[in-house]
Amino acid sequence: MSSPTANPTNRFLYAACQHGAEQVLKQALCEPAGPFRLAYSAKGFLTFKSNMSTPIWSRALIEHPLVRSRGTVLERIEGTESGPMVEQILASYQSLDWEVLHVWQRDTAQPGWNGFEPGVSLLALSIAEQLRSALRKQNDGREVHAGGLSRENPKTPANSLSVEPSDHASENEPAEESADESAEESAEINVKHSEPLKRSEPMSEGVAPGAKILEVIIDEPNRWWIAAKYAQKSYDFWPGGVPDLFFPDEVISRAYYKIAEAFSWGGIQLRPGEKVVEIGASPGGACQWLLDRGTKVTGIDPAEMDERIVNHPNFTHWRNRSREVKRRAFQGFRVLVCDANVTPNYTLDTVEAIVMYPTSRFRLLVLTMKLPDWEHAQKIPEHLERVKSWGFESVEARQLGHNRREYCLLARRRVSQRHSS
């Protein structure tokens, strides 16, 4: 691939996703179903060749609910030391008109696996720091962000990390995925996860809508991809597509991360005092996040709630299955969250019966849609159409960084209205 300064167009795009989602994306995006040909494939990171040459700062980026991050590929660089690789990046790209530089590493495991959460790694922090200081030496003050949600201790010194590929066998899920351009085995990077950090609000979004973002994507410690993205959606502004959120020391369940990310993705803020109902609320991670926002939460679940939630003055437990609750009881709520571990159809049937009941006035639905298998992701468009038919103007799907084999469906309508049927 030639340098972008020599050739300001390119034919390669990348898509990053959760481990396991690659096959669905390949099928959806590659010929004959889609417009691309697969160029490179690693766990959680794919590149595609397009027949059309596009500008570096193209708005035509890959869109799919399972795509966590996307952009145009500029080149792949390899080396044994990070220093020369950093110099190479500056030599080729410092003159390019990017505004922010993102550094992030493709996932090393599935979210929740053995404590792994997607987001910043020590290696990404180290490389970001090296790039930042190299830029500062040349009086270049552009921002460098190492990405995503930190479950690691950022105080840990990381500058001395080597970029040698690790040769230990991975403890993570079985390695998969051939590389069309490189048949090398995937070398896992040993990343330790320590205490979650304390803040629970997003850090600065950093850049204005439409920003030009240069990306350094760590595929392997010794193999980085340089990409460019013309940021358009909220997640384009997050390195690797995972927002900068800090969490309390103790979260009751991973659902805390999921709901925090869902609201960040949607750019939605809840008013203190807002009445929220959650179906599938036990043990209470999502309720914890909602209560932390000052909302009044009703959790529906036949299972026991964590005692910190049960004893919260703003929490009510309806210890039932959702279908046992009278539809009229939902009258006072405008926000419905559902995280029940049931099939997508069961979720949609349940929520439809509630939302379409004549006394219901829901304005916001945040549904975790569990995928019985990855192939089920093909039904996402049907799910969206069905929710739209309930009168929601904006209905979107995204596999959040913290989702496992599931995705988040966000539906909004401006004014709650009485349904005609």
254 contact partners, CB below 8 Å, separation of at least 6: 111, 112, 285, 402
Q: Are 75 and 215 in contact (CB under 8 A)?
A: no
What is the rounded CA–CA span in Å between residue 218 and residue 64? 22
CB 109, min distance to ligand SAM, A: 19
Give whichever of 213 and 409 is closer to ligand SAM, judged by the CB atom.
Answer: 409
CB 112, min distance to ligand SAM, A: 11
Q: Are 183 and 100 in contact (CB under 8 A)?
A: no
Give whichever of 218 and 262 is closer to ligand SAM, judged by the CB atom.
Answer: 262
Task: Record the tokens describing residue 224, joined without a space.
Answer: 């980085």
What is the rounded CA–CA span in Å between residue 206 and residue 204? 5
What are the DSSP calls for 46-105, one per residue?
Answer: EEEEEEEEEETT-S-----TT--EEEEEEEEEE-S-HHHHHHHHHHHHTTS--SEEEEEE
CB 339, min distance to ligand SAM, A: 4
Give whichever of 286 and 367 is closer to ligand SAM, judged by the CB atom.
Answer: 286
CB 27, min distance to ligand SAM, A: 28
What is the rounded CA–CA span in Å between residue 310 and residue 299? 9
Give whichever of 144 and 245 is closer to ligand SAM, judged by the CB atom.
Answer: 245
Closest by CA position to 73, among listed 90, 53, 87: 53
CB 187, min distance to ligand SAM, A: 33
CB 309, min distance to ligand SAM, A: 9
Q: Which long-range contacts (CB under 8 A, 24 or more apart) does 205-210 make?
A: 205/237, 206/100, 206/143, 206/145, 206/237, 207/99, 207/100, 207/143, 207/231, 207/237
* Contacts with ligand SAM, residue ranges (CB under 6 A): 252-253, 255, 279-286, 300-303, 321-322, 339-342
Give whichever of 228 and 336 is closer to ligand SAM, judged by the CB atom.
Answer: 336
Give whichever of 252 and 411 is closer to ligand SAM, judged by the CB atom.
Answer: 252
| Cis amide bond preceding 243, omega within 30 | no
CB 335, min distance to ligand SAM, A: 14
Which residue type occupies 408?
Answer: C
Give whichever of 140 and 349 is closer to ligand SAM, judged by the CB atom.
Answer: 349
